[in-house]
Structure 1
């Protein structure tokens, strides 16, 4: 009974905070325009801050430069400017970081140029760009449906993987990366994502193939994104990226799957499909 009571007490704040996040993000997506761009930018920048905090447990990162680059990228995207415009600031940011490391070497006798430049740039590419893709996708003719499908399929995958894994999980999926994840849970998440995609296609009356592609991506690539963040946490020795969301950890913990899925869906519909 004590174990059951503990599980219920742990599950309640997780469910409540998760519902609040889903409600806020869904409302912003529906309203679109600056509501969506604003919420997405907040999520991206908080996640980026957490990412740099994880890296700083191992080496120095120019967090201020990375955050500034992230803000400029998100502003460019929010102003409906082509995302490619923001690419020009990436080389500039690396050069600035290297210049700072040259100065640090000269004054303090130590430097961390390679890891600092790589870590600072990686945060922008890993976190900010996928969220920028979602800002840009929302402006398209079918943007509300496609972006909504991506979010719902990702959340369905997470929920089903958690429920199925807890109930029937026996065979470990990737125990050296995430010791609690199982093949049964991964399969449950995949099926949940595909089912949600098919249900959305049926309800909305649109051709099912595009949404099923999204379901496939979220069910496979999204779970890889979850494992990718687990690798980062193992390497930096942290349990969660932060503590901003009760029961979930940090913002990056809550949205790690979407980062991979958003990049793949954007490439599919913006680059390949067109």
Structure 2
């Protein structure tokens, strides 16, 4: 190799890392804003409207889950899975304080377990999908009904989740650095993870401060909730790696599948429900919008 070639190779090796901008930087925000507007309208429109959006989202997510664990998006187990979640949500809308939604969820999971066991088709994974999607779907409606400001509570939740995702994307691309858990999520970095937590803390503090609550306490809680959001993302990544898939689907440009979009929310909403009903946390930190 000539001296000139050696110099070229050395210069290339020292070239700074290019910032990871791509087409996703355009498509991801555009479709993210559209989806956010739909969710916001449903949240503040009332529980029945939110239930419709949750039901539609859960159906698509259920198809993707069946594809992940069973290689086919449309399977026999999809019918009872979707029916269970729809009936559960309908029962809650009709009677928010009744036990029917919980009974339906458990019976539906048991039905899918038995059906898939008879078919020898990964029964624990398929029945687990009913609970994985059903519990958070019900939790969103339960939190929406928390008096007297359930809509603002759900609004704060999504402010944290969206800020976590956006902060992680921007900081991770701009800063880069060591990978967080490369075995599960090759693109997730420590800088992006920390950036997502910081963004969530700021977003929650601003949201709560605007409606008159304690911004400091809200920032701390936002950071904690962001950690659960990251765990939700990592769990879905683990499931996909377990079945040798990169994305749950390709429905949403720039985001992958619906499960790729809601994985953080699935974990964060359950964490929020536990904080409210088990630890009796005031989720608005004194705010009374």
TM-score tier, shorter chain, comes to 0.7 to 0.9
Q: 2:31 matched to 1:17?
A: yes
Considering only CA atoms, is the larger Rg found in Structure 1 or Structure 2?
2
> How far, CA to CA, are the matches of 2:111 and 2:264 in structure 1?
31
Deviation, structure 1 residue 96: 3.7
Q: Within 2, Cα distance between the matches of 1:94 and 1:253?
A: 22
Q: Is the 8 A contact 1:157 1:218 kept in 2?
A: no
More helix by share: 1
130-139 vs 91-100, which moves further: 91-100
**Structure 2 gaps, min length 5:** 1-17, 282-289
Q: Aligned pair 1:41/2:55, yes or no?
A: yes
CA separation of 1:65 and 1:196: change in aligned 2, threshold 3 A: same
Shifted more, 205-214 versus 252-261: the winner is: 205-214
Stretch of structure 1 that moved more, 188-197 or 93-102: 93-102
User: Is residue 48–residue 128 contact of structure 1 (8 Å, CA) maintained in 2?
Assistant: no
Deviation of the 1:50 alpha carbon: 1.1
Q: Deviations over 1:34-55 (max 9, x none)?
A: 2111112211221122111211
Q: Could you say if the C-alpha distance between residues 83 and 50 of structure 1 is closer, same or farther in structure 2, counting changes exceeding 3 Å?
A: farther
- 1:238 is matched with which residue? 245
Other structure's SS at 1:175 match = coil
Aligned length: 262
Distance 1:68 1:127 in 2: 12
CA contact under 8 A between 1:52 and 1:120: conserved in structure 2?
yes
SS in 1 for 2:250: coil
Q: Does 1:220 align with 2:234?
A: no
Q: Does 1:69 align with 2:84?
A: yes
CA distance in 2, matches of 1:169, 1:84: 48
1:112 is aligned, of 116, 120, 126, to 120
Give the TM-score normalised by the residue count of structure 2.
Answer: 0.82
Deviates more, 1:225-234 or 1:128-137: 128-137
Pair 1:169–1:270, CA change in 2 (3 A): same
Compared with structure 1, are the counterparts of its residues 261 and 98 closer, same or farther at alpha carbon in structure 2 (3 Å cutoff)?
closer
User: Cα distance 1:32–1:211, how it changes in 2: closer, same or farther (>3 A)?
Assistant: farther
Cα deviation code 1:248-274 (max 9, x no counterpart): 111111111000000010111123207
Contact 2:77–2:116 under 8 Å retained in 1? no
SS at match of 2:278: helix
Correspondence list, 1:87-166, <5 A: 87-93=102-108, 96-97=111-112, 100=115, 111-112=119-120, 115-116=122-123, 118-140=124-146, 141-166=148-173
Match of 1:175 in 2: 182
Q: Which has the higher mean CA deviation after the structures are superposed, 78-87 or 159-168?
A: 78-87
TM-score between the two structures when normalised by the length of structure 1 = 0.86
Q: Which of the pair has the greater relative contact order for Cα pairs under 8 Å at 6+ separation?
A: 1
CA distance in 1, matches of 2:109, 2:165: 35
